[in-house]
């Protein structure tokens, strides 16, 4: 997020102290988006770092580190991994979103989920396998199950 009209930020991914991925993003209207591809890292912790590169198209001589966030490796005890698709921007209060949840596990499992807003739990529920609307299956991105959700944000 930025209050400047136009900002370019370089997002880097570090494994220990080695930069293993980098992407420049333009932030306009206060918001920018980036995607970090699947990364095979040797370390149990990787770090995301954001550096200020330019403001209003004027390069910054020495890049200023805006944020650095460690991300801990997590292995699923159920061997199920999830990917959420469909959130294209930061949701506003009471805004409705339609998202797809891709799972590496078959659809014959219950899904328990928690939705957080600014670190606070705003909703939680479960979707049971015997729900009347059966989820569609998908083979995209290695997923074997696709669940479609309708969410309404609250604050």
Same domain, 26 and 46: yes
Q: What is the pLDDT of residues 63-119, one digit of tens each?
A: 789 889 988 877 778 888 888 888 777 777 788 888 888 888 888 878 787 877 777
Q: What is the pLDDT of residues 123-154, one digit of tens each?
A: 788 877 665 444 454 444 455 788 887 777 66
Domain end: 72, 93, 111, which one? 72
pTM of the model: 0.57
The parent domain of residue 60 ranges over 6-72
Q: What whole-number distance in Å separates Cα of residue 14 and Cα of residue 2?
A: 23
Three-point CA angle 53, 55, 58, nearest 5°: 85
Which residues sit opposite 23 in a β-bridge?
11
Q: Do 87 and 142 sit in the same domain of this protein?
A: yes
130 & 105 share domain: yes
Statement to judge: residues 92 and 127 lie in one domain: yes
> 67 and 92: one domain?
no
């Amino acid at each position: 997020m930025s209050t400047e009209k136009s900002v370019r930020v370089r997002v880097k991914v570090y494994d220990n102290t080695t930069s293993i991925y980098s992407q420049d993003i333009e932030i306009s209207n206060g918001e920018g988006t980036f995607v970090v591809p699947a990364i095979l890292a040797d370390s149990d912790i990787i770090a995301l770092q954001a550096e200020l590169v330019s403001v209003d198209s004027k390069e910054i001589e020495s890049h200023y580190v805006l944020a650095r966030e460690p991300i801990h490796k997590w292995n699923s005890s159920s061997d199920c991994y999830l990917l959420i698709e469909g959130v294209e921007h930061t949701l506003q209060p009471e805004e409705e979103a339609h998202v797809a949840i891709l799972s590496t596990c078959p659809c014959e499992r219950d899904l328990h989920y928690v939705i957080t807003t600014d670190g606070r739990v705003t909703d939680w529920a479960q979707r049971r396998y015997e729900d009347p609307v059966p989820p569609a299956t998908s083979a995209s991105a290695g997923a074997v199950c696709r669940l479609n959700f309708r969410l309404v944000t609250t604050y």
